[in-house]
């Protein structure tokens, strides 16, 4: 099944494939013809002492010419097969990559990032091996083996039939090897990956390890893994040594003995055919090489099939991000948001939002308050259509959210998260995200709007300053300012700030508070905050508890109500004053 | 060849394995010379019509015996040589790991984790390869080649040998030349692959942002560009790789033609027999591998040397925390005296700390406040001896902390870092990280104290829930609280919270502060915070600015003084507004 699917990838390349195949076929025929030629030479020129210089020279010239031609053809076909394999893998990788882009966030939540990266990179690499080494070499070797068999029959049908015994023996060897080596290599690979994971994690957490004085303990763990890995390696070497090369070479000795016996009996009882003997040993010898290769490729073949299975699983994944319904070109130009009885449960059945309804007028600011897990972030994620509500309806500008194009949602709803990711790249590209439609001026305007411009200009290279991985050269507040600028560069109609100020020191927070006032102007704004201070002047505050809106109103009305909000407010105030 | 000298210590360490392996390898080559000889005997007897059943049986039996011997020897040398090589890999990996655990942050500023990982995997692999395949190739290429050629010279005909050998050096040379080219191009291909991996990694780990900004299409087109790069680098490597077989094919062909051509002439002249000529051509075939091996040897050596060189350099690059010869092992109390006239980070000109003269008395709680980059974390790192002081000293219980054994020093401190780092294991093991012998009750108590117990119980597996890559993802606040539990489980003399409450909500923050006040009355606690609410109960609050403590005192004192603290307090208050006014 998987194999057939892999073969289907070759279909678009069938012309090149056919051509390469023909080249390969001719080259193989020549390669098998050459020992036959020598065999003929021995029996018809050398032995009868029929040795005319001119004929011998001609023979040599033809022999050499054929050799060069076959070498050339071999090279050409190899390159063709390589090209096919490369473009197949290219296609496959692009398919997987773009598939991953379409998957729903729910899928990302369930799947460790590491495994997804492996699918796109290492697994496809292993499939490339399948096309380059396994499929191509399987094809080459099979043609070769068939050719050799034909050659053997030409030399002597009797001997050729006997030599067929070789194949079941070979098959048995392969089967045994597979059975023995498979579990060993599986275990070995998993140990190796544990070993590398352990090393990686140690490096990541070195400061914690050192502060807690756990170096010795972790070293012991690592040593244990390393030792286990070594033991498995030895087992693998033993299996290889017992059943691979040494064994096939022994098989070759057995075959040789049979041939010698055959030849000997004939020589004793009839005339001798040294040329045939020569050709036979030579050809049999050559059949071993491709057989050996097939055997050595087998583990890789198994690995590739497993990889292909995993890649196809991902390609067949149906858990897609919500798609646009219909083809309407509706735009978001006011920012009217309404939730009608919206409920949402995770795939494990855990209810996170329970019949939530509210309506935000264009330009209003709404604050979402509640404890961790109360559903604040889920509201935002539903609004961004990262997830589809389990029941209920979300309306934008009075129309169902599902009818807006993704493009529209992404450019008109701007999101700032708690931990903003900065990319390796310049400040400029971190703000503009290399959007072709965003001009430099817009980038600077956005930076000015969020008050990031002064600190950017203070950087040694200003807007062209390269930010290293994770943005370690910037303070957390500065990183967050860049994230604000990035969002504002798109001039969204709806702004969503998800705990956007949690990691910021007070000075930067003040900057950001000022920036936020400007940013909120003419925009519908959602603010999620732990600290009530950030949402004090919101037009509406929704207090969530276990997925339900338990209180709503302005700061004043809520404080006067004396409910949860008032309590929270009192507490947060109390801290500062008391 | 220098690499083999460099690895000599290891060859001596594993000399039994290497000696057995090499002897077996040579035996295999010797025994393999025997088979063509038997063919010659039989062919010559055949042409001379002197072949009998007895002779035939005797010689084929000998072939059979030699076959079994070869099988045995091959098995042994593989296990011995390759086993030894992987032993070296294991050894280097252990050393590498141990070396890394001893290095200070200065070392990690110089070496990035990704690069270190590459050293730990690729370089060790390359050295392993040299110690196994490299040795095998030397023995096969040099000793094997010499043995085959001498047999041809002494047992058949030296002139014919010389003629037939003419093209062979070209093979060794091309193999080495291709190898060099190939290595270079493979490296390019590998780099392209690494670039792609990095792209994919960044793409997937920032999926939310990419989705939020609708960047999927531009990501895809960038990925496509990467793919083109991968295809072109791989093809350029394949173009060289595909040259090997045809080249070998042509060169051996020439060599073969020479042997057949001149060989037949020699046969006609009666210098050699037909059997000898047959034997000779088989030896020509056997020479291909040693010649290739010689060609490869060069590349193996070069790669091994480069990798081993990098590893050695890394293992010699040390930035450990230096211990005095007789360190004090007595656990200090929570009394700390800090005197730092000036501190700059290594390789930096910026003054990170200056004019510090501070005292912490036992059982005190100290609050560190000030803007980002004002030196708070730097002071903590110096306390923990992650970096060495250049001027001044830090005294714990009146002892210069450089004289205290590093281990003791670290037992004295409990640290909750700014960037929460948990390990991919169970929550229980993460909490018990610094004290693996902790009982489940102790772990639970620490979790309760850090206000994370209820969160943990919500997971299906409770304390046995695995976190990280292969397990559940925790929120920032949960990670912070588990980090706190990890530190307080140790009941350290001095507990340091480095902005460790930023991701928890106000209520939880107060609960944790409350817990600290109760449970840690007898010990010292240092809290770094951006929210003044987290430090207002402190006995001393130090206000940092540009590496200096510009103000200190209790919350009450500082609140009255005009300055950064008061301003910040007011700002945080106005942000929250006063409740009193409206009630």
For the stretch A194-227, pLDDT in tens is 888 888 888 888 888 888 888 899 999 999 999 9
d(CA A136, CA B348): 56
- DSSP-assigned beta bridge partners for residue B356: B340
The pLDDT-based confidence of B582 (bands split at 50, 70, 90) is very low
**A418 close to B (CB below 8 A):** yes
Phi, psi of A572 (to 5 degrees): -65, -35
Does the beta-carbon distance from B506 to A531 stay under 8 Å?
yes
Q: Per CATH, is B1-156 categorized as 3.40.50.720?
A: no
**How far apart are the CA of A520 and the nearest CA of chain B, in angstroms?**
17
A279, closest residue in chain B (CA to CA): B278
More confident: B271 or B583: B271
User: Which residues on A lie below 8 Å from B569 (Cβ)?
Assistant: 576
| pLDDT (mean) for B217-234 | 90
Residue of B nearest to A489 (CA): B213
Q: How far apart are CA A393 and CA A339, in angstroms?
A: 6
The pLDDT value recorded for residue B575 is: 45
Q: Percent of chain B at pLDDT above 90?
A: 47
Strands (E), A313-435: 337-345, 351-360, 365-369, 391-396, 399-400, 413-416, 425-426
pLDDT digits (tens, 9 = 90+) for B254-273: 998 999 889 988 998 989 99
State residue A276's pLDDT score: 86
What distance in Å separates residue A357's CA from the closest CA in chain B? 23
Please state, as a whole number, how many other Cβ atoms lie within 10 Å of the Cβ of residue A399.
13
CA A32, chain centre distance (Å): 43
**What pLDDT shows up at residue A471?**
47
Cβ separation A245–B249 shorter than 8 A: no
Residue A347's Cβ-count burial label (10 Å; 0-12, 13-18, 19+) is exposed
The structure tokens 């006609």 sit at: B268
User: How near does any CA of chain A get to the CA of B526, in Å?
Assistant: 15
Q: Can you give the pLDDT at residue B111?
A: 83
Beta bridge partners of residue A400, listed in sequence order: A395
Q: Residue A318: its pLDDT value, please? A: 85
The mean pLDDT values, 10 residues at a time, for chain A of 578 residues are 88 93 91 88 84 84 93 92 92 92 82 79 85 77 87 85 83 86 86 86 86 90 95 93 88 89 84 83 83 73 84 88 81 89 80 90 89 80 87 91 86 79 79 81 89 84 75 68 86 85 66 79 86 82 88 90 80 51
pLDDT at B439: 95
Asked if the model's pLDDT at residue B158 lies above 60, the reply is yes
Taking one residue from A and the other from B, the number of pairs with CB-CB distance under 8 angstroms is 387
Once rounded to an integer, what is the mean pLDDT over residues B478-490?
Answer: 92
B336-558: which CATH topology?
Rossmann fold (3.40.50)
Q: Are the beta carbons of A218 and B100 separated by less than 8 Å?
A: no
Contact map slice: A 26-85 vs B, CB within 8 A: 31, 34, 38, 41-42, 45-47, 49, 51, 56, 60, 63-64, 67-68, 70-72, 74-75, 78-79, 82-83
Highest averaged pLDDT of the listed ranges A34-38, A202-206, B84-88, B201-205 = B84-88
B498 Cα to chain A: minimum distance (Å): 13
**ipTM of the complex in this document:** 0.87
Q: What is the pLDDT of residues B271-282, one digit of tens each?
A: 999 999 999 999
0.80 exceeded by pTM: no
Q: Which residues does chain A have within 8 Å of residue B555's beta carbon, measured at their own beta carbons? A: none
Going along chain A from its start, the domains and CATH numbers come out as 2-315 (1.20.1560.10), 337-577 (3.40.50.300)
Where is A457: in which H helix or E strand? Answer: helix A453-458
The whole-number pLDDT of residue B579 equals: 32
Mean pLDDT score of chain B: 88
Asked if pLDDT for residue B70 goes beyond 80, the answer is: yes
User: How far, in Å, CA of B352 to CA of B341, rounded?
Assistant: 11
Q: Which of A51, A71, A292, A387 to mutate to test the interface with B (most CBs of B within 10 A)?
A: A71
Q: How far is A29 from chain B (nearest CA, A)?
A: 14
How far apart, in whole angstroms, are the C-alpha atoms of residue B397 and residue B334?
A: 7
Min mean pLDDT across A44-53, A381-390, B76-85, B526-535 is at A44-53
φ, ψ for residue B426, nearest 5 deg = -75, 160
Inter-chain touch B231–A533, beta carbons under 8 Å:
no
What pLDDT sits at residue A504?
A: 65
Q: Which residues of A touch B122 (CB under 8 A)?
A: none
**The predicted structure's pLDDT at residue A372:** 66
């Amino acid at each position: 099944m998987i194999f057939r699917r892999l073969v289907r990838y070759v279909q678009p390349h069938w012309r090149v494939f056919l051509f390469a195949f023909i080249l390969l076929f001719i080259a193989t025929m020549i390669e098998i013809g050459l020992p036959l030629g020598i065999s003929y030479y021995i029996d018809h020129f050398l032995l009868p002492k029929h040795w005319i210089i001119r004929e011998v020279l001609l023979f040599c010239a033809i022999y050499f010419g054929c050799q060069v031609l076959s070498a050339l053809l071999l090279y050409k076909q190899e390159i063709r097969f390589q090209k096919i394999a490369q473009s197949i893998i290219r296609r496959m990788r692009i398919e997987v990559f773009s598939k991953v882009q379409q998957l729903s966030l729910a899928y990302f939540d369930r799947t460790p990032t590491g495994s997804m990266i492996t699918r796109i990179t290492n697994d496809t690499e292993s499939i490339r091996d399948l096309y380059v080494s396994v499929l191509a070499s399987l094809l080459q070797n099979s043609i070769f083996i068939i050719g050799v068999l034909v050659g053997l029959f030409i030399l002597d049908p009797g001997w050729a039939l006997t030599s067929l015994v070789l194949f079941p023996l070979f098959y048995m060897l392969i089967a045994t090897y597979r059975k023995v080596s498979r579990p060993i290599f599986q275990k070995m690979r998993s140990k190796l990956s544990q070993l590398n994971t352990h090393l990686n994690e140690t490096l990541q957490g070195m400061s914690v390890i050192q502060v807690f004085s756990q170096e010795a303990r972790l070293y012991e763990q690592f040593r244990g893994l390393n030792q286990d890995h070594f033991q498995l390696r030895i087992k693998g070497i033993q299996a290889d040594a017992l059943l691979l090369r040494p064994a096939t070479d022994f098989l070759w000795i057995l075959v040789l003995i049979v041939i010698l016996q055959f030849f000997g009996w004939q020589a004793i009882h009839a005339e001798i055919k040294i040329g045939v003997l020569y050709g036979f040993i030579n050809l049999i010898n050559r059949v071993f090489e491709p057989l050996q290769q097939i055997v050595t490729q087998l583990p890789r073949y198994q690995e590739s099939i497993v990889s292909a299975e995993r890649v196809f699983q991902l390609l067949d994944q149906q858990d897609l991000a919500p798609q646009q319904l219909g083809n309407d070109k509706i735009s978001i130009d006011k920012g009217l948001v309404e939730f009608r009885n919206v409920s949402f449960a995770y795939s494990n059945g855990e209810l996170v939002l329970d019949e939530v309804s509210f309506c935000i007028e264009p330009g209003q600011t709404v604050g979402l308050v509640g404890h961790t897990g109360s559903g604040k972030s889920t509201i935002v994620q539903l609004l961004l259509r990262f997830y589809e509500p389990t029941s209920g309806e979300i309306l934008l500008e009075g129309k169902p959210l599902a009818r807006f194009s993704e493009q529209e949602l992404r450019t008109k709803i701007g999101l700032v998260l708690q931990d903003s990711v900065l990319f390796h790249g310049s400040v400029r590209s971190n703000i503009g995200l290399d959007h072709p439609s965003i001009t430099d001026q817009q980038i600077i305007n956005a930076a000015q709007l969020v008050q990031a411009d002064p600190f950017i200009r203070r950087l040694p290279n200003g807007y062209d300053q390269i930010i290293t991985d994770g943005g370690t050269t910037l303070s957390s507040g500065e990183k967050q300012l860049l994230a604000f600028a990035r969002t504002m560069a798109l001039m969204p109609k709806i702004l969503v700030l998800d705990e956007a100020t949690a990691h910021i020191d007070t000075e930067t927070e003040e900057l950001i508070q000022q920036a936020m006032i400007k940013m909120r102007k003419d925009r519908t704004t959602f603010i999620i905050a732990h600290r009530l201070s950030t949402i004090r002047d919101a037009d509406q505050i929704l207090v969530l508890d276990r997925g339900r809106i338990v209180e709503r109103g302005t700061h004043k009305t809520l404080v006067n109500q004396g409910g949860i909000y008032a309590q929270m407010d009192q507490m947060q105030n109390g801290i500062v004053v008391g | 060849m220098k690499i083999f000298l460099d690895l000599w210590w290891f060859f001596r360490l594993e000399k039994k394995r290497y000696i057995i392996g090499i002897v077996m390898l040579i035996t295999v080559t010797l025994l393999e010379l025997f088979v063509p000889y038997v063919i010659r005997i039989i062919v010559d007897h055949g042409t001379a019509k002197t072949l009998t059943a007895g002779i035939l049986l005797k010689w084929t039996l000998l072939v059979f015996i030699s076959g079994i011997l070869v099988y045995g020897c091959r098995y042994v040398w593989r296990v011995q040589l390759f086993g030894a090589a992987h032993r070296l890999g294991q050894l280097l990996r252990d050393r590498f790991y141990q070396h890394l655990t001893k290095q200070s942050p200065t070392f990690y500023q110089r070496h990035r984790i990704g690069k270190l990982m590459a050293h730990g995997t690729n370089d060790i692999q390359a050295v392993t390869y040299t110690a196994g395949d490299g040795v095998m190739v030397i023995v096969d290429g040099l000793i094997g080649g010499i043995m085959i050629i001498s047999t041809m010279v002494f047992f058949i005909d030296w002139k014919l040998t010389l003629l037939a050998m003419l093209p062979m050096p070209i093979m060794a040379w091309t193999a080495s030349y291709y190898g060099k080219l190939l290595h270079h191009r493979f490296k390019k291909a590998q780099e392209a692959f690494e670039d792609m991996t990095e792209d994919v990694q960044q793409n997937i780990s920032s999926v939310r942002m990419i989705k939020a900004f609708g960047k999927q299409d531009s990501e895809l087109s960038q990925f496509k560009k990467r793919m083109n790069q991968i295809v072109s680098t791989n093809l350029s490597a394949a173009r060289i790789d595909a040259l090997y077989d045809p080249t070998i094919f042509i060169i051996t062909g020439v060599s073969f033609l020479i042997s057949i051509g001149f060989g037949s002439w020699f046969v006609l002249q009666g210098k050699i027999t037909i059997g000898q000529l047959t034997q000779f051509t088989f030896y020509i075939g056997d020479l291909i591998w040693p010649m290739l091996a010689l060609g490869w040897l060069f590349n193996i050596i070069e790669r091994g040397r480069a990798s081993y060189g990098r590893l050695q350099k890394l293992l010699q690059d040390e930035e450990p925390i230096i211990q005095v010869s007789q360190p004090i092992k007595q656990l200090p109390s929570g009394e700390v005296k800090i005197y730092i006239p000036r501190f700059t980070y290594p390789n930096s000109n910026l003054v990170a700390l200056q004019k510090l003269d501070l005292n912490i008395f036992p059982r005190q709680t100290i609050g560190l406040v000030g803007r980002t980059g004002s030196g708070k974390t730097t002071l903590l790192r110096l306390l923990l001896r992650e970096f060495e002081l250049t001027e001044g000293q830090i005294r714990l219980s009146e002892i210069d902390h450089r004289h205290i054994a590093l281990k003791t020093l670290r037992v004295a401190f409990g640290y909750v870092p700014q960037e929460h780092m948990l390990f991919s294991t169970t929550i229980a093991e993460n909490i018990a990280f610094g004290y693996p012998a902790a009982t489940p009750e102790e772990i639970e108590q620490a979790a309760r104290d850090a206000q994370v117990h209820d969160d943990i119980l919500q997971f299906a597996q409770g304390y046995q829930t695995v976190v990280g890559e292969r397990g559940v993802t925790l929120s920032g606040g949960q990670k912070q609280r588990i980090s706190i539990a990890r530190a307080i489980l140790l009941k350290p003399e001095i507990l340091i919270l480095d902005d460790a409450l930023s991701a928890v909500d106000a209520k939880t923050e107060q609960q944790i502060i409350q817990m600290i006040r109760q449970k840690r009355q007898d010990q010292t606690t240092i809290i770094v915070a951006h929210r003044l609410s987290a430090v207002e109960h402190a006995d001393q609050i130090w206000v940092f600015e540009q590496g200096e403590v510009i103000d200190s005192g209790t919350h009450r004192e500082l609140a009255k003084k005009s300055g950064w603290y008061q301003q910040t307090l007011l700002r945080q208050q106005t942000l929250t507004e006063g409740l009193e006014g409206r009630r």
